[in-house]
Structure 1
Amino acid sequence: MTLEQHYETISTWLREDDQRMACLRAVADLNLPDWCIAAGFVRNLVWDRLHDCETTSPLNDVDVVYFDPNDVSEDRDRALETRLLEQLDRPWSVKNQARMHRRNGDEAYRDTKDAMSYWPEIETAVGARLNREGYVELVSPFGLAPLMAGTVTMNTQRPKPEAFWERVEGKGWLERWPKLRVVD
């Protein structure tokens, strides 16, 4: 499949998922700069589809990432989580990537996509957002082929083997999705 085919497939799967679309609409209403919902939000849906799961995995958390260097306070993120929770009862996690480099010991990130390029595994670094016209857009610093290939790949740009294996084992990915292949 080409990048365009992967893009269309994942976008279609997201549009068909009412709970994910409700989350995307709720975050779009906040008008945050350079935002997306990432991590398990997209990754788990794709892995569920690749494994022909009858039901999608529950949203254990909804990771909203955005980039706004003008206000990097954690209080703002907590206030945004509260606003989202008032709209939609989900376990929201909101993080302004303009400050997260400090916590992670990295150089300052340029934008949300750049921040995602430092995440432990590349399949997690896929996000979705709604554009102004309401269409699903995907954000991925590593492309979509690894996610669609059913792999779990350590990020070689920022290799952290201990963190990678802790996530693979601790999150139970190989038990939930046994056809996944680990690439470290």
Structure 2
Amino acid sequence: MSDLERRLVEIVRADPDLMTVLTDVRDLNLPDWRLFSGAVYQSVWNALTGRPAGYGVKDFDLGYFDPDTSWDTEDGIIRRVAAAFEPPLRDRVEVRNQARVPLWFPQKFGEPYPPIHGTDEALERFVAPCFAVAVRLEADDGVSVAAPFGLEDVFALTIQPNPNRPLAKDWDRIIDRARTRWPELTVVGVD
């Protein structure tokens, strides 16, 4: 485990809501699951900028991978996950089968999304490397980290476009929302 991974794990472990979500989801035994996106990278930004745990975190994005792409199966998982939490977390944990994303992504975002083979592969398609960070609480209580682009951007408070995909159509909105909460952020790679 790298120094940045160790630091990320320390930050995750220090956030009571993150640990509650990770512990409760682990107990559900979902296939190939990860907690990713804002709840993870924003926790790092909070730690680095001296903001309290949970500041700016709107929800907890939970991905899992099940080759059964039927809506009924995913809906059953969504309901099962919701039942595992009390309010207010119940309303903030959003779960999606990553195998189903190619079914709705092109219509919603207007760009292709070829099939993937696992949850970690989805991270490679996030709009920015600093957003492509995920964690999972393992059976031995270790926290595993997935970050296909590394953790340097997250810890440098830097946002740059994912070099492997087109610039997100709502890039400016994404940047404006992030800078409103964390004005310390640096944006690079966009003219």
Give the TM-score taking structure 2 as reference length.
0.86
Point out 4+ residue stretches in structure 1 off by more than 3 angstroms: none
One-letter amino acid of the counterpart of residue 28, structure 2:
L
1:86 to 69, 83, 88: 83
Structure 1 portions without partners, runs of 5+? none
1:77 to 74, 77, 98: 74
- Tell me which residue corresponds to 2:185: 180
Residue deviations 1:122-146, cap 9 Å, x none?
1111011011212111111111111
Shift of residue 27, structure 1, vs aligned partner = 1.0
Give the TM-score taking structure 1 as reference length.
0.89
- Tell me which residue corresponds to 2:35: 37
Aligned pairs, number? 179
One-letter amino acid of the counterpart of residue 46, structure 1:
V
One-letter amino acid of the counterpart of residue 99, structure 2:
A
Percent identity, aligned pairs only, is 30
- Tell me which residue corresponds to 1:154: 161
Partner of 2:139, secondary structure, is coil
- Tell me which residue corresponds to 2:108: none
Counterparts of 2:93 and 2:72, CA distance in 1 = 14
Alignment check: 8 A CA contact 1:116 1:125 kept: yes
Counterparts of 1:34 and 1:182, CA distance in 2 = 32
Quickly say closer, same or farther: Cα 1:85–1:99, change in 2 above 3 A.
Answer: closer
Partner of 1:98, secondary structure, is coil
Alignment check: 8 A CA contact 1:40 1:124 kept: yes
Alignment check: 8 A CA contact 1:43 1:123 kept: yes
- Tell me which residue corresponds to 1:126: 133
CA RMSD of the aligned region, Å? 1.7
